[in-house]
A and B are shown apart, each in its own frame.
Chain A
Amino acid sequence: MQTRSSETLLRRKFLLGTLGGTTLGLVALAPRRAAAADVTLLETGSSLLYPLFNLWVPKYTAMHPGLRITTQSTGSGTGIAQAVSGVAQIGASDAYMSSPQLKKSPGILNIPLAISAQTVNYNVPGLNDAGIKLSGPVLAAIYSGKITHWNDPAIAKINPGVSLPNHGITPIHRTDGSGDTFIFTQYLSFSTPEWANSVAYGTTISWPPVQGGIGAIGNPGMVQACGQTPYSIAYIGVSFHAQIAKAGLGTALLQNRDGNFVLPNPATVGAAASALEAKTPPDQRISLIFAPGASSYPIINYEYAIVNSRQASPVIAAAVRDFLTWAVDPSGGNAPEFLNVVEFLPLPDKIAALSKAQIAKIR
């Protein structure tokens, strides 16, 4: 008995030793930056902004050795929450903070980094190449269960000549705290008083019960669910256009405030942005949804970096300031080489100036 147990113990010690040694070896092998000068920043939040941050960070950290920036895709809600609590230095969000939130946590800056848009996509076999026209009221009715079939008269009315199938619609929404939900529901609220009074908008809302309605997580969750579910409809951030194309989803033409049906492209998004640019207040909390203009695309928004104006140390504050300043600069993060990949629009000069003014407040 004694020999056996010591044998086992020996074997176990050997295994543990090998494990430990391998770990230490791997750690030693890995290229390490100078420990003393390391500044570590954490960016977390919007899944819509995540692809862009992942293009920025490698480029920027290559220019600044000693700086470590970790990116995470967790949803706008988490981005705001962790920026406020200080766990993350930069919170990414498609939604600006609400007044009650700011009252609770004064000193949090909402800094636009770029302009993005959102598409409403659908998966209707046979019609995914032709663009189905949809309006805010129609979408509101779909998402509240009042319109249940694709060939509903309300949809047929705005799509003359299109043979819509007699099939149930499966509306897909985001379950996580999502900036995409925020801008989508703002579109529904601004265009449909009935929705505004009952459901309103937010990063998370109480979706009206629709039997069979699906909740997905993250933008690609939306793409996946829509792609796998015939006759479904979803709202997806524009930075996922490649995945949308790959999944073969259709993109809807949305009715803007002037009544025209438009697709998102630099022209229509730019038109919406310039219509509301002048109205942007110094704290830059403004909705760009349902902008006036004949060719304006109705669902566009500023992508925000939610940052606490008081950072843990001057060194960290400087690092955050430098990074964000680079990000909003047309020769830095706002250059076409980054924005074109995700189909975002650069900030107009006046807005970039406002952003820089806010960035300067970070101490």
Chain B
Amino acid sequence: MHTSAFRIGTICLAALIPGMLIAVVLFLALYSWPAINFNGLGFLFRDTWSLGNLYADPVSVHGAQVPIGAQYGILVFIVGTLATSFIALLIAVPVSLGVAIFLAEGAPPRLRPTLSLIVELLAVVPSVVYGLWGVAVLVPLIAHYIAPGLSAVLGFIPFFAGGSPTGFGLLSSSLVLTLMVVPIITATVYSALLQVPRPDKEAAYALGAMKFEVAVRAMLPMVRGSIIGAIILGLGRALGETMAVLMVSGGALNYLPATITSPISTMASFIVSQLDSAEQDPTGMAVRSLAEIALVLFIITVIVNVIARMITKGLHVGLATRA
């Protein structure tokens, strides 16, 4: 079969995606190479980020010109990124599945478009508006009610104790991320649930299952692939989310979060907040180290995707052998 011009056309368009990615990765890697050399592997495990003394003359360390005392370590930001994304997904996945089931099976069909619209609207609210609302409403709420409440109920676990004097921190960032991730997962799972063929549903009903059981026990497993895909998309959004987290995270520097309400910084929010400071460094090592952070964030995203792929592949194999 000869390859049609149409097929070639779509291949070219599809090739732009890897092309874009390769361009960005190459740029990041080449640009941050001097920083990678200077920082070494300890970059990932040091919890101190210091630009050094920018107003004194630079010195030569390991063959590179850097300000005196410059030391770059991003453990704090890695922990912040992973913790916020993890907690956000922990809350978002059950909530999203609940909403998707409610929309697909529980809500009266006439109301479905309106109700699903409400969920989609969460997706279209811009990140800065979330940040705005977070600062105006969520942060005070956490400071005055949620944090003390958590401390009272779960205070025996040190992670939840202590309340929060400011409300800015891990909890506020995670909650904002949850709201941003839920619509992505819900919309995908909802449309997948809608596509489940009627005969399959009817078979479950015929076996005597109740509506909710049909939804959870029969339909959800059928759309498992969509669910995993949706979670990855959601995780992607969470890992890369910048502005909203920037406004409510508290901007921690040089210390790891001790409780769920501790201020944190994520890698993405750190890059934004530090880019102009880093440009103050005449040796340029600071901006290159920021580019290195971007590279690390990128690598983490890739690893996450690989693991998710392996899970999805495993599931498909399992289903195939059962049939």
Contacts and interface: CB of A to CB of B under 8 A. Distances in A.
B263 A215 contact: yes
B55 A200 contact: yes
Contact of A229 (B135, B166, B254): B166
A215 B53 contact: no
A164 interface: no
Interface string B53-94: 111111000000001010100000000000000000000000
B254 A206 contact: yes
Interface string A322-360: 000000000000000000000000000000000000000
B57 A215 contact: no
Interface stretch (B98-106, B197-205, B208-216, B274-282): B274-282
A32 interface: no
A177 B282 contact: no
Given A101-B280, A202-B55, A206-B48, A228 B274 contact: no
B277 A170 contact: no
B246 A232 contact: no
Contacts of B252: 213-215
Contacts of A74: 276
B299 interface: no
A215 B254 contact: no
Nearest to A203: B280
B133 interface: no
A81 B290 CA distance: 15
A86 to B, nearest CB: 13
Interface string B238-277: 0000000011001111110010001101000000011111
B50 interface: yes
A157 B237 CA distance: 51
At the interface, is chain A mostly helix, strand, loop or mixed? loop
A217 B168 contact: no
B51 interface: yes
B165 A230 contact: yes
A175 B253 contact: yes
Among A213, A224, A231, chain B packs the most CB atoms within 10 A around the CB of A213
Given A98-B282, A216-B251, A217-B246, A228 B276 contact: no
A78 B165 contact: no
Contacts of A77: 276-280
Interface string A63-82: 00000000000111110110
A228 B255 contact: no
Nearest to A44: B276
A201 interface: yes
Given A78-B279, A229-B165, A217 B273 contact: yes
A224 B247 CA distance: 11
Contacts of B253: 173, 175, 206-207, 209, 213, 215
B236 interface: no
Contacts of A211: 255, 258, 262
B234 interface: no
Contact of A231 (B50, B71, B165): B165
Nearest to B50: A206
A168 interface: yes
A176 B276 contact: yes
Interface string A147-177: 0000000000000000000001010010111
At the interface, is chain B mostly helix, strand, loop or mixed? loop
Contacts of B258: 211
A311 interface: no
Among A74, A101, A177, chain B packs the most CB atoms within 10 A around the CB of A177
A98 B54 contact: yes
Contacts of B255: 209-211, 213
Contact of A206 (B49, B135, B263): B49
A31 interface: no
Contacts of A98: 54-56, 280, 282
Contacts of B165: 168, 170, 212, 229-232
Interface in B270-301: 273-280, 282-283
Contact of A214 (B50, B263, B276, B280): B263
B57 A177 contact: no
Contacts of A204: 51, 54, 274, 277-278, 280
Contacts of A213: 252-253, 255, 263
B169 to A, nearest CB: 9
B230 interface: no
B279 A177 contact: yes
Given A100-B57, A215-B263, A215-B273, A207 B282 contact: no
A76 B246 CA distance: 19
B143 interface: yes
Interface in A77-102: 77-78, 80-81, 98-101
Q: Return the 9 tightest CB-CB contacts between A and B, nearest first.
A: A215-B251, A204-B277, A206-B50, A177-B277, A81-B279, A78-B276, A77-B276, A209-B255, A177-B276
23 contacts: A77-B277, A98-B56, A98-B282, A100-B54, A100-B57, A101-B282, A170-B165, A173-B253, A176-B273, A177-B274, A200-B53, A200-B55, A204-B51, A207-B254, A209-B47, A209-B253, A213-B252, A213-B263, A214-B166, A215-B250, A215-B252, A217-B246, A228-B167
Interface of B: 47-58, 67, 69, 71, 135, 139-140, 143, 165-168, 246-247, 250-255, 258, 262-263, 265, 273-280, 282-283
